[in-house]
Structure 1
Amino acid sequence: MSEQTLTQVPARRSSRLKNALDSDLIYSLRKSPLTMVAAVVTLVLVLSAVFAPWIAPQNPYDPSSLSIMDSFYPPAWEADGDPRFLLGTDDQGRGLLSTILYGMRTSLAVGFASVIFAMVLGVTLGLVAGYFGGKTDSIIMRIADVQLTFPAILIALLIDGVARGLAGSHAYDEIVFGVLILSIGLSFWVQYARTVRGSVIVEANKEYVLAARLIGLGPITIMFRHVLPNVLGPVLVIATINLALAIITEATLSFLGVGAPLTQPSLGTLIRVGNDFLFSGEWWITIFPGVTLAVLALAVNLLGDWLRDALNPKLR
């Protein structure tokens, strides 16, 4: 490789980075201080959850590291607080800071996985419905219309109840996170399907699709290689907003007792546990997980609203 080529590589990388920083999306982000704060808060919370095993003071999932004598300690700044537990402890002696970090990890994992599942299912069905039309379109859209008549939490509860009845109480604990992902994902696929279907109907009559058909490309190749990249903008917006909804839905299911188990709690489980002691004076057990859930959902929602406006050329 010549010296001139070696000097051109960093220049190209610098040029690509500069173009990315000067893009409309980054410009829109820099023009919105509230969105930047939401992005920083989301990044901090996500990284805290990802690196929870390394930054948490204790492992709340390890019974050998817990002591019942440490239960119900108030936050460290209270008169009876313990410096070892910054946000206090719960009824099992688990430090709330560690438990929130691990619980947020569970909530985010279920939220991301369910959104990905819903997006893959909804986008695929939307592509099929919009591209083929006819009876295929009618069947998929009628199923979507029927599902829209039921609240998402009711569908999730129904799927969870069926899985619990089929698997049994002992086997259910082993598949509970898979059931949560399935139940939440099946509650949100309709939005992706309807949005993608509408975009595909518009794209299917354009010249590049007609040219792809003319040269003999199959429907699957046309749908996923040519049409899909042109309809992903609205899908990303829906996915961002649905992430907050998925986290809240998981927290609701766990609060109702049909979500994450007590041994591996999510934010919803922590709120449910703390709710039992709220009126006896141990307010911190439910307040801190509740505030964390509210801040996380609000930050992700703000990012979703910004992304919707930034990707809509009519609002620029």
Structure 2
Amino acid sequence: MTALARAWDSDLAYSFRTSPVAVISALVALVCIGGAVLAPLLAPHNPFDLASLNLMEAFNPPAWVEGGEANHPLGTDDQGRDVLSAIMYGARVSLLVGVSATTFALLLGVAIGLLAGYFGGAVDAVLMRVADTQLTFPTILVALLVDGVVRAALPRELHDQIALYVVIFAIGISEWPKFARTIRGSTLVERNKDYVLAARVIGVPGARIILTHVLPNVVGPVLVVATLNLGQAIISEATLSFLGVGVPPTQPSLGTLIRIGNDFLFSGEWWITIFPGAALVAMVLSVNLLGDWLRDALNPRLR
């Protein structure tokens, strides 16, 4: 039996096949992610090619509305950009920020959680008090604070160049306590098990015990947290961009597109903000539903 066949017959695969919500969510997420990743190949237009923009085509409605054009299925915005193409390219930025910020938070949180859980004592007390303090502040507030401090410390001409990295850092640094507390709790259980005690007795260094013995046995719950946190990171980026402190206008994300369209929502050009908003909801909801399914599927009490 091949590895693929064994994976298909596993409990996790069976749980996925028998869950309509998980299957539909996976398909929606696949469409959103595939459209974003393959935007240069699939998008009907390049919305960021200034030479191809035509202001005479601005505010064209969707193709099925009177006055719409077939070459702009979801209409155009105030600059004549194709809304469908802008959504696909904007989703790339949103996904890039979400995945990068989640990865950064995961690496930092796992490292801190392992140290706190394995060594305990004063190390655990200090690190967890820092995590508890940060958890009292909303993610957006921490991200706004970090973004404001970085922008104030750096020259104005560098703001647009590093804006993407600042947003990734701001969101990631505000989300690490979730991973740290999850890993710390699992590590507290694992460090007193026989295999860890045996490794200590034979003189295995603590760093090696943490990386080769403890980490593989506590990483499972982190995957669930990471899946759920990805949707939160995308929402945080969209919120920051909507407030005007996210990615620069030259690299608009879904949040930026929603902010731009919001200025024209009550003047009749509803499609400029409704469609990017619907794309954001579909992406985040599908990822969160997959995270919920994964959490239940990996919970032995629900088997």
Secondary structure at the aligned position of 1:41 is classed as helix
* Aligned with residue 125 of structure 2, among 112, 117, 138: 138
Alpha-carbon distance in 2 for matches of 1:162, 1:136: 28
Encode CA deviations 1:115-134: one digit per residue, 9 max, x unaligned.
00000000000000001111
* Aligned with residue 58 of structure 1, among 23, 39, 45: 45
Deviation at 1:82, TM superposition (A): 1.5
> After superposition, where does 1:102-121 map in structure 2 within 5 Å?
102-121=89-108
Alpha-carbon distance in 2 for matches of 1:116, 1:311: 21
Alpha-carbon distance in 2 for matches of 1:168, 1:161: 13
* Aligned with residue 265 of structure 1, among 252, 260, 263: 252
Counterpart of 2:150? 163
Bigger radius of gyration among the two: 1
Deviation at 1:204, TM superposition (A): 0.3
The aligned amino acid for 1:18 is A
Listed as ranges, the gaps of 5+ residues in structure 1 are: 1-13
Alpha-carbon distance in 2 for matches of 1:147, 1:220: 27
Counterpart of 2:2? 15
The aligned amino acid for 1:132 is F
2:253 equivalent to 1:295 = no
* Aligned with residue 92 of structure 1, among 74, 79, 97: 79
Listed as ranges, the gaps of 5+ residues in structure 2 are: none
Secondary structure at the aligned position of 1:251 is classed as helix
Deviation at 1:282, TM superposition (A): 0.3
Counterpart of 1:182? 169
Encode CA deviations 1:162-211: one digit per residue, 9 max, x unaligned.
11111133201000110011000011100110111111011001111112
Could you tell me the TM-score, scaled by structure 2's length? 0.98
Alpha-carbon distance in 1 for matches of 2:234, 2:159: 21
Deviation at 1:16, TM superposition (A): 2.0
> After superposition, where does 1:64-83 map in structure 2 within 5 Å?
64-83=51-70
Count of aligned positions: 303
Could you tell me the TM-score, scaled by structure 1's length? 0.94
2:169 equivalent to 1:154 = no
Counterpart of 1:25? 12
2:300 equivalent to 1:310 = no
Secondary structure at the aligned position of 1:59 is classed as coil
> After superposition, where does 1:224-263 map in structure 2 within 5 Å?
224-263=211-250
Alpha-carbon distance in 2 for matches of 1:171, 1:15: 52
Alpha-carbon distance in 1 for matches of 2:251, 2:293: 33
Alpha-carbon distance in 2 for matches of 1:64, 1:202: 60
Counterpart of 1:47? 34
The range that moved more, 14-23 or 74-83, is 14-23
Alpha-carbon distance in 2 for matches of 1:91, 1:311: 47
Deviation at 1:215, TM superposition (A): 2.4
Deviation at 1:68, TM superposition (A): 1.4
2:143 equivalent to 1:127 = no
Alpha-carbon distance in 1 for matches of 2:4, 2:200: 37
Alpha-carbon distance in 1 for matches of 2:274, 2:192: 54
Secondary structure at the aligned position of 2:238 is classed as helix
2:266 equivalent to 1:279 = yes
Secondary structure at the aligned position of 1:90 is classed as coil
Counterpart of 1:211? 198
Alpha-carbon distance in 1 for matches of 2:195, 2:17: 35
Alpha-carbon distance in 2 for matches of 1:61, 1:163: 27
The range that moved more, 78-87 or 99-108, is 78-87
The aligned amino acid for 2:85 is S
Secondary structure at the aligned position of 1:231 is classed as helix
The aligned amino acid for 1:239 is A
